[in-house]
Amino acid sequence: MRGRSESRTDLVLAELGSLEDAIDRDALAAVCRSFFALFGLSVRIVGESGQLLADVHEEAAICTYARTFPKGRAACDALTTELKHIDPGRESLVHPCFTGAVYRIEPVAYQGRAIGRLILGPYRRPDDERARAEREGAPIARLLERVPELDRAEAKARLRQMPVVREDTAARISAHLAVMVQHLAFASHRALLASEMHIASVRESHRELVAQKEDLEAAYARLQEADQLKSNFLSTVSHELRTPLTSIIGYAEMLRTEMLGPLDGELRECAQTIQQRGEHLLQLISRLLDVGRLERGHVLLERTWLDPAAAVQTVVEDIEPLAAKRDVSLALELDQPLPTLHADPIRLRQILLNLIENAVKFSHDGGTVTIRVEAATIEKLPREGLAAALFGPPTQALRFRVIDNGVGIPASAITKVFEPFFQAESGSTRRYGGAGLGLAIVSGLVEAHGGHITVQSAPDVKTEFCVTLPLERPDE
Ligand SMILES: Nc1ncnc2c1ncn2[C@@H]1O[C@H](COP(=O)(O)OP(=O)(O)OP(=O)(O)O)[C@@H](O)[C@H]1O
Ligand SMILES: [Mg+2]
């Protein structure tokens, strides 16, 4: 498949580049806060490039004091910046503060690579030479060198308030914190991988969908082409058949009416059968041509203002004998008065004839076919836009309902009955005759008049075809 092989390249697992790339900052801050609450030591976590990711600290009393003097503030700021960029390598290191305290910098490694570091402190060390000396006052002297404005006694008192941590304890707790941060990095990495895999699979499905859509579009284009070829073929064949068929019918009629000489009874019957079958065939060919023209929108309507009641009555009278044969009664219900209709009388007759013929054909013996004609309005013509439906006045129309209580149309077939050659029941041609063209022609003609047709059916109870035609086309 086109999409599948390409998408494999997307499934390379993502690496966690640096802490700042993916780590959950809220979780990191929460860990630092609980660390501070537990050990009372300030902690900062920075990414590979020195970006501050979490910072939980309480300014030491000596720092607050030193920062009240410009030199003290400058020394403090310089140290804070420096600390963020010190790379401890693979081992943790201790970095001195100008106050005599220290910071511990611990690397955070993941998958064998440094991805950030944590900075613990400041704190004082009780057990080394330097701290001892500090208690005796030597570092104070150095501090006063850096920030001469400090009051010695005050500085000493404040320095004593700083937490004192043994070096091995500081090493253990900073290593412990580094492990916790590693766990957080692992969780973040796992979430990152899961989301990357999700994105890759969505991308994969999208690619498959695009490929399927392209295949479908190509198939649709081929079908349209085939459909066009079929229509062209049908109309060419129909045209070619019509001319010789008209001659056959003509000669058969000449034979039957003995224009070419006397015929005995049997031969005359043969000539009559040839003529009848020929006419039937010619009618079928005309309908095929009609379907083709309607599909291409090539039907020309010759409209006149006509009386719809009279049009329906004539059709009903013509179908009466067919209905009588099946003991089907025809009931005509006409609203009074009915408006006149601007329509092509021959095409209107074709519409009504097809619908009523169907109703009779698919009725049970002894059934009833009701034809109702009533005035109506159309809120929106199908070809008009939404704006016309909302703001335009309703169009005056006529509604023709043809209702029977015959075999009906199963729900699975109801949307297809207007397609050419469709017949709901397989074997319908044998049982009921016909070619499945009537409704395709009807719906094409109704649309050509600017109207619409609907159908509802409850088999053996009620089947209703409803044609709504505007009294005149609004664009005329
Ligand atoms: N009143 C109806 N009751 C039940 N089924 C119907 C009714 N009208 C149409 N159908 C179903 O719709 C199909 C298509 O109707 P359509 O008029 O197009 O074709 P047809 O009557 O079978 O043949 P043709 O009209 O070409 O002689 C019919 O074969 C039938 O299955
Ligand atoms: Mg029919």
What domains can be seen in the chain, in order of their start residue?
19-200 (3.30.450), 221-296 (1.10.287.130), 304-470 (3.30.565.10)
Q: Which of 96-110, 232-246, 317-331 has the highest mean pLDDT?
A: 317-331
Report pLDDT for 298: 82
Q: Is the pLDDT of residue 389 over 60?
A: no
Q: 435 falls in which pLDDT band (50, 70, 90)?
A: confident
What is the model's pLDDT at position 309? 96
Residue list, ligand 1 pocket, CB within 6 Å: 354, 358-359, 362, 404, 406-409, 417, 422-425, 428, 434-440, 463
Weakest-pLDDT range from 138-142, 198-202, 241-245: 138-142
Residues 6+ apart with CB under 8 A from 456: 414, 462, 463, 464, 466
Cα angle, residue 437 at apex, residues 434 and 442 outer, rounded to 5°: 125
- The lowest-confidence range among 42-51, 119-128, 136-145, 176-185 is 136-145
pLDDT of residue 447: 94
For atom 19 of ligand 1, the residue with the nearest CA is 436
Q: What is the pLDDT of residues 346-365, one digit of tens each?
A: 999 999 999 999 999 999 99
Q: Is the pLDDT of residue 44 over 50?
A: yes
Instruction: Decide if pLDDT at 3 tops 60.
Output: no
Band (pLDDT 50/70/90 cuts) for residue 384 is low
The best mutation among 280, 370, 403, 417 to test binding of ligand 1, ranked by most ligand atoms within 8 Å of the C-beta, falls on 417
273 alpha carbon to ligand 2 midpoint, in Å?
23
Q: What is the pTM of this model?
A: 0.58
Q: What is the whole-number distance in angstroms between the Cα of residue 392 and the centre of ligand 2?
A: 36
Token pair for 316: 């009903």
DSSP E strands, 205-335: 304-306, 329-334
* 408: phi then psi, degrees, rounded to nearest 5: 75, 180
pLDDT of residue 333 exceeding 70, the answer is: yes
pLDDT value of position 5: 42
Q: Which two tokens stand for residue 113?
A: 């690579």
Per DSSP (E only), the strands in 256-384 are 304-306, 329-334, 341-343, 368-378
CA 191, CA 287: separation in Å to the nearest integer?
Answer: 67
Tokens of 36: 């501070």
The pLDDT tens digits of the residues spanning 252-308 come to 999 999 998 898 889 999 999 999 999 999 998 988 888 888 888 888 899 999 999
Q: Of the segments 155-159, 255-259, 293-297, 428-432, which one has the largest average pLDDT value?
A: 255-259
DSSP, res 11: G
Residue 51 DSSP one-character state: -
Whole-number Å distance, alpha carbon 439 to ligand 1 midpoint, is 7
Give the ligand 1 atom nearest the CA of 439. Answer: 18
Percent of the chain with pLDDT over 90: 52
Beta bridge partners of 400: 373, 467
Six-digit token string for 200:
């890759």
- Tell me which residue has tokens 């509802």: 456
What distances in angstroms separate CA 64 from CA 54, 100, 196, one per listed residue?
A: 21, 15, 46
- Phi and psi dihedrals of 357, rounded to 5? -60, -45
CA distance 403 to 454: 12
- Is the alpha carbon torsion for 233, 239, 245, 249 positive or negative? positive
**pLDDT-derived band of residue 383, with 50, 70 and 90 as boundaries?**
low
131 pLDDT band, cuts 50/70/90, is low
Helix 345-361 × helix 308-325 angle, to 10°: 30
What per-residue confidence (pLDDT) applies to 2?
40
Share of the chain above pLDDT 70, in %: 89
Q: What is the pLDDT of residue 6?
A: 42
